[in-house]
Structure 1
Amino acid sequence: MEPARGPCGSPVSGPAGAAAPLGPSAPLEPRLRRLEEELALVRAALADALRRLGLYEQHLPRLLRLLPRATNGAVPEPCLQLDPDGLPLTPPGLPQTISVGTQTEEMMPTLEGQPGASGDQGVPQEPPPPGSPPCPPAPAPASPEPPAPDSPTAAPSLAPRGAHKELRPKEPTQSPGTRRGNYNLEGVSVKMFLRGRPITMYVPSGLGPYGGLRTELPPERLQLDWVYGYRGRDSRSNLHVLASGELVYFMACVVVLLHVPLRRQRHYLRHSDCVRCLAVHPDRLRVATGQAAGVDKDGKLLQPVVYIWDSATLLTLQQIGLGSFERGVGSLAFSTADHGAFLCVVDDSNEHMMSVWDCARGTKLVEVKSTNESVLAVEFNPQDSSSVITSGKSHIYFWTWSGATLTKKQGIFGKYKKPKFIQCFIFNADGDVLTGDSEGNILTWTRVTGDGCTPGKGVKETYQIGQQTRAHEGSIFTLCHRRDGTVLSGGGKDRRVVCWSPALALLQEAELPERFGAVRTIAEGPGDELLVGTTRNALLRGTLDTGFTPIVQGHTDKVWGLATHPSCCLFLTCGHDRQLCLWDGQEHALAWSLALEDTGLCADFHPGGQLVAVGLLTGRWLVLDMTTQQLLAGGSDGNEQLSVVRFSPDGSFLAIGSHDNFIYIYSVTEGGRKYTRFGRCTGHSSFITHLDWSKDGHFIMSNSGDYEILYWDIAGGCKLLRNRFESRDREWASYTCVLGFHVFGVWPDGSDGTDINSLCRSHHERLVAVADDFCKVHLFQYPCACPKAPSHVYGGHGSHVTNVRFTHDDEHLISLGGKDTSVFQWRVLGGPTPPCSRSPCTPEPGVDPDSR
């Protein structure tokens, strides 16, 4: 369900129906793909027409038998009013829509999406509304077998079998149409449309029009409680220590302030897209952060901007450069010599525009094109604000700022090998510049005048290399000037942190464990303590003598799988980095991490809480012991990816939904250690996306990639329930299916059917949390059976939100980012007061739970 995206994973859309021209120069493969999609749409329309024709023919004998008894040859109305599925509509005289004032209120939202099955298959005959005159019984036709997935009458899948969800770019959405949805005022069914395809949902008995439900904003709200992870894989100079002792870094759209001893986080949440760079003012109180550009769900450009804010109050002091930057903000630096009066910004445009801003007024003082190559770092000379240095791919530039002009001089390498990248640089106590490059060398650049004399104010100056020091194997990602005058360097390939004397003599070194990755940045903590950010998104704390331990850890690639423990504040995540992680939501820490054999896409806890099932990209599933992390069982059903694994409420069955269109059912015995194939649910015409068990553990409700809603009798032999009307009053142990009567109100106008990635009902059945494709988490009231239902909307993720789950006590909600690799823990505020009892998730005494 992931669309094409702009920088940092923001969704990208375009004009409705826009398609690339199929000219001679177009690649053959895209042309063929578009033709296949058009053919699939035609096949779907034909299959739908044949199905509807069959339903009309099914009712024809009944109508013909009634003709002789009709007055004046007229057919009685109660037997003629049938919907397109052959179901009885409203009794005579009742309107199809409700009129409000002078306008007609549409009974269902109009949604658009990719072509697929309507979800109305297999409902040949439903009971008439209560009170309707009985019609003579018609001969019961033989129940047809569901069409094979590849048969001509089967509704097409959204993508070829086995195609990974993320490899199918989503077409641009368009504004909702004016097509009116049908609603039976007697409470039989409602319809919603995804790109014109009808999806029928049956109203539970005892509910009147609109199901007797009125959806309002829930009294509960969400507050961001904890952000797991750190963005070290592709950003630099992103870890600093504030005057308060808090660490400041960023993840997705959130700037995190972490107080390590208190295990407390605060969050700056003003940014609308991923934060890319960070600078701390010389007073160590004010912070500047710059973000990437992106687009919203309507395709409107979100302009990159820099915010200057107060770390004590989290209040924004200044907004810098709205409308001035392109693509994003790449590097930031406060001036030092004049107490942080100026801010230098380099954007991510082709020319990497460099500008200097007045921090107090927010005005631009000077701007110039810097280079067509990537710029990785920028800094003011700490002794002279008129001197600025930038470095990056194959260059280091020494800039002089005078009035409204910025002039540069390129660093000359002379006899020294020119590196591919100059990753970082610092100023030492003598005013010299030390650079770290991709060759593993530290170069010392000395400032001299044109005649080689001592530099002076206003004299033409330049820099030349005075010393080369071999420091690391591979790139040097960071340099840090310590309070005692020594220099620290961090290596990429060798993962070493090395301490150097002011003259660059080797003093001491330490190597990071391989699982944490390379050194990305280094900051000084209290005393001899060092803080290290790594390329595998971890923050470490320690010294060169004692080594380093993690204080923050996270995923390093897209995250999809999520499961919450049935009885305590623990949850599991897995993703494309092939890591299965167990998180302690009470301690806000990683409990353990296990390497999987392949990408993990879904997970679920056994009701007893001691076992966990994990589904992989290869079609293989695993069952692991939570305590020992040992493999207890496993299997493989086909060779296509698994979308969902789910234990039944009593733990006696395991259901596995696959991209091969089947749901595999296993019986579970011996305390969850033995798994025997029980059956297979066959009938979906596209890949399985979501499924839920009934509370009695006998039935399953499932959704597929072509928007079908099907029901299965598992206890009766994994049979497809063709009369879906009979399942309208069934109670479900969980509700994660994104299509169904109880949740159809969560779908926005103009949706293309892939805009909602995940949905979860709370355990007390009052809330529905939704993860959408536009970086947002929504909180709805449950049931949400009203068109255009209102919701509380929360940002923070910088990419599509892939999954959401409530913890066992509904006190927290967990959400996953996709490409931003983030894991957010939200606190649920408001609502009924829970009983006062100490639980595994109860905050420790003396700590304000809302202060986290």
Structure 2
Amino acid sequence: MPPCPRLAFSATRWTHFARPSQAPVQDAHAEMHLQVYPSPRLVRSDQPEGRVRPCFDPSAPQAIPVVCVRGAVIPVQGPALQAVPVAPCLYESYGGSPCSHERAGRQAQPWLCSVPSDQRSHLPGNFRGRPITMYMPRDLVDTYCLEAKADLPPKKLKLDWVYGYRGRDCRSNLYLLPTGETVYFIASVVVLYNVDEQLQRHYTGHTDDIKCLTVHPDKITIATGQVAGTSSDGKQLAPHVRVWDSVSLNTLHILGTGFFDRALVCLSFSKSNGGSWLCVVDDSNDHILSVWDWQREERLAEVKCSNESVFAADFHPTDANIIVTCGKSHLYFWSLEKGSLVKKQGLFEKQEKPKFVLCVTFSENGDAITGDSSGNILVWGKGSNRISLAIQGAHEASVFALCMLRNGTLVSGGKDRKLISWDENYQKIQAVEVPELYGPIRTVAEGRGETVLIGTTKNYVLQGSLDGEFIPITQGHTDELWGLTVHPLKHQFLTCGHDKHVCLWDSASHRPIWTKTLEDAAQSAGFHPSGATVAIGTQTGRWLVLDTESKDLVTVHTDGNEQLSVMRFSPDGNFLAIGSHDNYIYIYAVAENGKKYSRVGKCSGHSSFITHLDWSVDSQYLVSNSGDYEILYWIPSVCKQVVSVETTRDIEWATFTCILGFHIFGLWPDGSDGTDINAVCSSNAKKLLITGDDFGKVHLFSFPCSQSRAPCHIYGGHSSHVTNVNFLNDDSQLISTGGKDMSVMQWRVV
């Protein structure tokens, strides 16, 4: 038999060519442009015209006409293809290296399959030229069909809860609605949270990061603005404003698609003309200020606002033709006159001009009130661009927020973490300091009765009174989020991130059970099967074990000096495998219910960093994926690699979190380069498969997912790469984490 030609594939196209006198067998799936000829010669059809890349020499005399579908050598007998004994791999993509059984220097045991001509391609597996070999379990050999159509999963997902709040870099994004719901945003979701009833609703119309929010005077209509983005198919998503109904959650209008640049930074409804107008500032170099008749979706006026950052824009409460904007080195009073916006600059005169004017609100008599980076609160007379009153040193640092309450009390919040109330004559009534844990005050909103809502730069939403204690109603991470693990016995999960915070959550009450601050940025986590302890991997090579009940430190170890991407206990709890960016897998023996650790050794063999690990059900084997798309198998108790296909192909795996493997390859969409999917997890019942990708999407597949281009349900909400996904212990819900959007989302399986 001649050398084995390999039918390779990836985002590129591959075609079999032969002598002109020979008629091709045209594949039914035209998008891959696969043609099979007798005595084929394999070339890349994406190469420039005239250039070919042969995979084998078909010129040998008496050559048997064959093709090779992912390692299966198949002779051509008319239009149908019948199989012959070959190496036991499902497929191998071509990367310029020999077949796996040739590399191993041995002939593997043969197996038989029948692959008709219409069932033979479109399998993902060549990522950036890297050959990936995946082996089919023996019990599927006789029945497996490459092109059988997979079914959609029988279940769907419903967004149940969103953890976190975006206060770190956004302002004026916290309001109380008449329904009793607190409205705010994180990632691309607007959260409407009824604290009393412990219920959340979600507006999910946006496709990327939301940066600003405002509520109409009717207290029902809401406008939100988002950044520009990129869809999974590479299309640009334009920044725009969405106006929507907070009762029905229906989108009413979409404004500015194709007009705004980069992002929307602030927006506000007019107050005095029934809220008919909406002013918006985008994040272009000139920070364009525009005024819209939002119900007609018409732009009434536009003007270059400032070359510097703009932090707030608001209509005057009694004159819809006046807008005030503030930002870096400026305070402008705009008048809308005959379709044009005319600017008057705020005059600081004897008052030292602050570097930043950070916030603006209005008194009952129409005076404008500003807070600045010098800690001052300045009052500007109605209709004037001059200061009528200055409260010097109102705060010890920047004044981030101002809120005028219904009773005429002014409330200010600052970088000094103080919340100060002022009477109608701007005399201080009292001051409350927010604990350092919560961070500086970013925004202030009036709550029910005497309550006040506070959003902080550490992404807390606090509720309390001006003379009492504030309690958090929402909290989240403050830096990139990667670590996620679920409790094996309870409805609990743990998250950890680059903010050095570890948090154990109760998925039923949606509240944190405890939080702990580490010395290093955290990257990964894994529960011991008993649930008694949890291991945390950091970015520095240090890892630690915490007691789940008390959060006390059990032990600390260091392996290498690079980030630890995976912490995975064996199902029997006797081993811990740690995947590192130094290309090693460190193995520890575990005793005393996860409280005693002794190093066994390290598994060496990967040529790139470790990305994912899974244990076998019997805890005897380990499978690993790496950054260059290798799949390797190990006996962890002796830290030895397993190269025998016969040993590994029928292993029963306890979990499926590796992104490469026979049981899950159908999750890869066309055009993937291997970096699109960050996390995978099968349900505990092995019926569903969940993935998180680089485009903020969560995908739900049926499991096993071993048919090419398997169908799935797709869910948005995250605005950054989805870094981790995991089912809760009873498969009733699942958790997803967003990387740079710092959000945690809880989905109900329905």
TM-score, structure 2 normalization: 0.87
1:298 positional shift: 3.6
One-letter amino acid of the counterpart of residue 388, structure 1? I
Give yes or no for the alignment of 1:236 onto 2:171: yes
- C-alpha distance 184-654 of structure 1, shift in aligned 2 (>3 A): farther
1:636 positional shift: 1.1
Give yes or no for the alignment of 1:636 onto 2:558: yes
- C-alpha distance 409-109 of structure 1, shift in aligned 2 (>3 A): farther
Tell me, what secondary structure is at the counterpart of 1:672? coil
Aligned position for 2:614:
692
One-letter amino acid of the counterpart of residue 196, structure 1? G
Aligned with 1:755 (options 670, 676, 679): 676
Contact residue 726 and residue 736 of structure 2 kept, 8 A: yes
Contact residue 218 and residue 780 of structure 1 kept, 8 A: yes
Instruction: Report the Cα distance in structure 2 between the residues aligned to 1:116 and 1:575, rounded to whole angstroms.
Output: 39
Instruction: Report the Cα distance in structure 2 between the residues aligned to 1:600 and 1:503, rounded to whole angstroms.
Output: 49
Contact residue 459 and residue 478 of structure 2 kept, 8 A: yes
1:307 positional shift: 1.1
Give yes or no for the alignment of 1:206 onto 2:139: yes
1:52-89: CA deviation from partner (whole Å, max 9, x where unpaired): x9xx9xxxxxxxxxxxxxxxx99997xx989799x763
Aligned position for 1:483:
406
Contact residue 290 and residue 330 of structure 1 kept, 8 A: yes
Tell me, what secondary structure is at the counterpart of 1:470? coil
Give yes or no for the alignment of 1:337 onto 2:272: yes
Tell me, what secondary structure is at the counterpart of 1:193? coil
1:92 positional shift: 7.5
Instruction: Report the Cα distance in structure 2 between the residues aligned to 1:520 and 1:552, rounded to whole angstroms.
Output: 14
Instruction: Report the Cα distance in structure 1 between the residues aligned to 2:495 and 2:101, rounded to whole angstroms.
Output: 34
- Structure (1 or 2) with the greater helix fraction: 1
Instruction: Report the Cα distance in structure 1 between the residues aligned to 2:132 and 2:117, rounded to whole angstroms.
Output: 14
TM-score, structure 1 normalization: 0.76
Farther-moved stretch of structure 1 (208-217 vs 246-255): 208-217
Aligned position for 2:746:
825
Farther-moved stretch of structure 1 (770-779 vs 317-326): 317-326
Trace 1:17-416 onto structure 2 (pairs within 5 A).
89-90=73-74, 93=77, 123-130=104-111, 192-207=125-140, 208-210=143-145, 214-416=149-351
Aligned with 2:710 (options 770, 783, 789): 789
Trace 1:520-669 onto structure 2 (pairs within 5 A).
520-669=442-591
Instruction: Report the Cα distance in structure 2 between the residues aligned to 1:614 and 1:581, rounded to whole angstroms.
Output: 11
Instruction: Report the Cα distance in structure 2 between the residues aligned to 1:529 and 1:303, rounded to whole angstroms.
Output: 38
1:764-792: CA deviation from partner (whole Å, max 9, x where unpaired): 10111011011111111111111111111
- C-alpha distance 565-639 of structure 1, shift in aligned 2 (>3 A): same
Contact residue 483 and residue 524 of structure 2 kept, 8 A: yes
Instruction: Report the Cα distance in structure 1 between the residues aligned to 2:488 and 2:302, rounded to whole angstroms.
Output: 57
Instruction: Report the Cα distance in structure 1 between the residues aligned to 2:63 and 2:249, rounded to whole angstroms.
Output: 70
Aligned position for 2:377:
442
Contact residue 111 and residue 752 of structure 1 kept, 8 A: no
Flag structure 1 segments of 5+ consecutive residues without an equivalent.
1-14, 17-52, 57-72, 99-106, 133-181, 449-460, 830-852
Tell me, what secondary structure is at the counterpart of 2:579? strand
Tell me, what secondary structure is at the counterpart of 1:701? strand
1:90 positional shift: 3.6
- C-alpha distance 418-462 of structure 1, shift in aligned 2 (>3 A): closer
Instruction: Report the Cα distance in structure 1 between the residues aligned to 2:657 and 2:296, rounded to whole angstroms.
Output: 50
Instruction: Report the Cα distance in structure 1 between the residues aligned to 2:500 and 2:338, rounded to whole angstroms.
Output: 53
Aligned with 1:510 (options 429, 432, 452): 432
1:688-742: CA deviation from partner (whole Å, max 9, x where unpaired): 1101000000000111111111111234x22211123431111100010000001
Contact residue 92 and residue 133 of structure 2 kept, 8 A: no
One-letter amino acid of the counterpart of residue 347, structure 2? I
Tell me, what secondary structure is at the counterpart of 2:243? strand
Contact residue 92 and residue 99 of structure 2 kept, 8 A: no
Instruction: Report the Cα distance in structure 1 between the residues aligned to 2:557 and 2:154, rounded to whole angstroms.
Output: 44
Contact residue 67 and residue 76 of structure 2 kept, 8 A: no
- C-alpha distance 121-600 of structure 1, shift in aligned 2 (>3 A): farther
Contact residue 69 and residue 91 of structure 2 kept, 8 A: no
Instruction: Report the Cα distance in structure 2 between the residues aligned to 1:733 and 1:296, rounded to whole angstroms.
Output: 34
Flag structure 2 segments of 5+ consecutive residues without an equivalent.
1-10, 13-54, 83-89
What is the root-mean-square deviation of aligned Cα atoms in Å? 3.0
Trace 1:792-811 onto structure 2 (pairs within 5 A).
792-811=713-732
Q: Which has the higher contact order (CA 8 A, sep 6+)?
A: 1
Contact residue 117 and residue 706 of structure 1 kept, 8 A: no
* Number of aligned residues: 686
Tell me, what secondary structure is at the counterpart of 1:197? coil
Instruction: Report the Cα distance in structure 2 between the residues aligned to 1:74 and 1:357, rounded to whole angstroms.
Output: 77
Instruction: Report the Cα distance in structure 1 between the residues aligned to 2:601 and 2:445, rounded to whole angstroms.
Output: 57
- C-alpha distance 381-92 of structure 1, shift in aligned 2 (>3 A): closer
1:671 positional shift: 2.1
Aligned with 1:815 (options 726, 736, 739): 736
- C-alpha distance 307-257 of structure 1, shift in aligned 2 (>3 A): same
- C-alpha distance 210-124 of structure 1, shift in aligned 2 (>3 A): farther
Give yes or no for the alignment of 1:767 onto 2:691: no
1:313-339: CA deviation from partner (whole Å, max 9, x where unpaired): 111111111211111111111111112
1:374 positional shift: 1.1
Among all aligned residue pairs of Structure 1 and Structure 2, give the percentage whose two residues are the same amino acid: 51
Aligned position for 2:629:
707
Aligned with 1:743 (options 658, 661, 664): 664
Tell me, what secondary structure is at the counterpart of 1:671? coil
